[in-house]
Amino acid sequence: MPRKARRIEAALLAKGFQRTDAKHRKFAYVTIRGIESRIRTLLSHGGNRDIDDRLLATMARQCGLSRREFVALIDCPLTQDDYEALLVERGAIDPSH
């Protein structure tokens, strides 16, 4: 099910991502301890456009998640703590940081 670009951006920012490029809307995940990770994604549509399932799946892979998990991250059942625990479990971020 598509999601609005603004909703995705707001959710990413609320869950520990920081914008790295205002023009192209690039985001990098910053851990709870404030360390920038290698997790990155790009939100290519601006404004209030719909982001389709194909692009949601691409963003999910970039964030180290399944599409279902990414939607949970956006819709809020998946907290930042839960997200980070998944990244640690999958080896995407170092738990010592």
What is the greatest pairwise CA distance in the chain?
Answer: 39
Note the pTM of the prediction, 2 decimals.
0.89
Which neighbouring-strand residues pair with 3? Answer: 51
Residues 31-54: tens digit of each pLDDT = 999 999 999 999 876 667 899 999
Which residues lie below 8 Å from residue 88, measured CB to CB, with a gap of 6+? 94, 95
Round the CA-based radius of gyration of the chain to a whole number and report it.
Answer: 12
Q: Does pLDDT of 97 surpass 80?
A: no
d(CA 73, CA 69): 6
